[in-house]
Amino acid sequence: MSNETARSNETILVLDFGGQYNQLIARRVRECHVYAEVHPYTMPVEEIRAMAPKGIIFTGGPNSVFGESALKYDPALFELGVPILGICYGAQLMAHALGGVVQTAETSEYGKTDVVIRDGYYGASAVNSAEGGSLLFKDVPKKSVVWMSHTDRIVQAPEGFVVTAETADCPVAAMEDAARGFYAVQFHPEVMHSQYGKHMLRSFVLDVCQCAGDWEMGSFVEKSIQAIREKVGDGKVLCALSGGVDSSVAAVLLSKAVGKQLTCVFVDQGLLRKDEGDQVEAVFGPDGPYDLNFVRANVQERFYEKLAGVEEPEQKRKIIGEEFIRVFEEEAKKIGAVDYLVQGTIYPDVIESGLGDSAVIKSHHNVGGLPDHVDFKEIIEPLRMLFKDEVRQAGLELGIPENLVFRQPFPGPGLAIRIIGEVTAEKVKMVQEADAIFREEVESYQDGRYAKTLGQYFAALTNMRSVGVMGDFRTYDYAVALRAVQTSDFMTAEAAQIPWEILMRVTTRIVNEVPHVSRVMYDCTTKPPATIEME
């Protein structure tokens, strides 16, 4: 699927300079009901012009704007005639490129910092830059907390710019040339630690760029169904169905578009949650409500054999991804000629798998296309430009029941990445049982109300074994790690403060009911620095 399906007439382009918050910036823009896309800073200016964005945001990044690590950007970016907001490195780049001065700071700023907006540039009345106010800070008080993360700093703004904010260690915390629509902030307005960051981004998108804020999920669904029908024609479609939220929404979207031309192949690779295979078949199988063909491939032993002896998480992901494709290839041959393969790839998958100079956080087995020898004409990824909560919105628009739409997120490689070290059938059984206990206890607490406050919760099996006592016997068994996070977008997450009574009940049940587990621990790490998943 082309990005055109997701785009409206208004797009904000986020140019990635290697920052860790690149997708978060795009997510914040979409919260304003304005469509945003992330592209590498090397995107040719001709392609940017063709996209006709209403505005551009430069992300942060680890490089310096001067010296050997300086990135080779195209100066024509500043001649496109559209508003630009530079964030952190993006702010320094704007200053350096347009004649300002950037230097290595004597004192680096990292973490929460008080920023002070200069008189005349803040407050609800500052709605017109021509009158001395700043559109960027129109709903922001004089002093607030922001998130800083920089070593270099702007010490002199370029000609035509005014300095609008400062901190104790940063003389140019914000600057702007409103006449040209150029704005820059040294801090990160996109992260939740910046008190009024959302206000600033909203002001840039709606007031500076003058976007209407009319991008809605309903229109995305309608456009996607129509685009799929036009693309597929009378072709046959094979969908990679895992039963998770992403692939389920993709499957129903395709079903609405092409009906029985779609065959959903559900690969039960032996790495699913307890009883999940049967649950998926009950929803999408012949007795389910959807107009599609359903095939279940039971290939558990095949995956266990491939994973035997493998401990490194990236290697496990790649093995599972390759074998996944092989299974689909085989099933496609049984079905007959298949023109398209559908996958539930979503936008964080794309970005985390590497975009431009951004670090590859983890590879996703449903990103990057198929090997050349696989016999499909093309991949359709109807959700490729959506974030997780947008996928759920699309699911509701499609009429999918809420219990499916708000199902716990589950990684494509399954329990293989919730088992530290080698994957075996015995370990899978252990983590399935522990996970089922944890989820059952969380979901029954306060009649299910507490579970709704959590973004994700699961059990994982560590590779640690420790001495324990069961009755009169010494044991030497595994430790289970519990993980629960609170998050709105899955790009950042806080460890949930699970009530002690839940943790104690879960611990007692797991140790008593799950063979070969003698210890239970709780993971308190945030994202970042950790990922939400265990590997």
Read off the pLDDT of residues 11-65 as tens digits, 9 standing for 90 and up: 999 999 988 788 889 989 999 999 999 999 999 999 999 999 999 999 998 888 8
Query: How far apart, in whole angstroms, are the C-alpha atoms of residue 204 and residue 138?
Result: 10
Query: How far apart, in whole angstroms, are the C-alpha atoms of residue 530 and residue 146?
Result: 22
**Which residue is catalytic, options 190, 276, 390, 441?**
190
For residue 239, give the nearest of 227, 248, 230, 229 by alpha carbon: 248
CATH number of 217-405: 3.40.50.620
pLDDT bin (cut points 50, 70, 90) of residue 128 is: very low
For residue 512, give the nearest of 501, 523, 504 by alpha carbon: 504
- Domain borders along the chain are 3-208, 217-405, 424-523
Region 181-203: mean pLDDT is: 93
Helix (H, G, I), strand (E, B) or coil at 117: strand
Q: Is residue 355 within 8 Å of residue 22, measured between CB atoms?
A: yes
Look at residue 80 and tell me whether its pLDDT is greater than 80: yes
Region 127-137: mean pLDDT is: 67
C-beta neighbour count of 226 within 10 angstroms: 12
Output the pLDDT for position 325. 82
Task: Give the pLDDT confidence of 248-281 residue by residue, as tens digits.
Answer: 999 999 999 999 999 999 999 999 999 999 988 9
Which residues sit opposite 205 in a β-bridge?
A: none
Look at residue 146 and tell me whether its pLDDT is greater than 80: yes
pTM: 0.69
Region 332-359: mean pLDDT is: 72
Phi, psi dihedral angles at 224 (to 5 degrees): -65, -45
Output the pLDDT for position 135. 92
Identify whether 188 is a catalytic site residue.
Answer: yes
Output the pLDDT for position 218. 80
Output the pLDDT for position 312. 93
Total number of residues shown for the chain: 535
CATH number of 424-523: 3.30.300.10
Look at residue 352 and tell me whether its pLDDT is greater than 50: yes
**Which residue is catalytic, options 32, 88, 211, 239?**
88
What is the Cβ-side half-sphere exposure of residue 233, based on CA atoms within 13 angstroms? 3
**Which residue is catalytic, options 39, 96, 188, 365?**
188
Provide the mean pLDDT of the chain. 87
- Protein fold of 3-208: Rossmann fold (3.40.50)
pLDDT bin (cut points 50, 70, 90) of residue 358 is: very low
Region 176-195: mean pLDDT is: 93
Domains 3-208 and 217-405 share a fold: yes
Look at residue 322 and tell me whether its pLDDT is greater than 60: yes
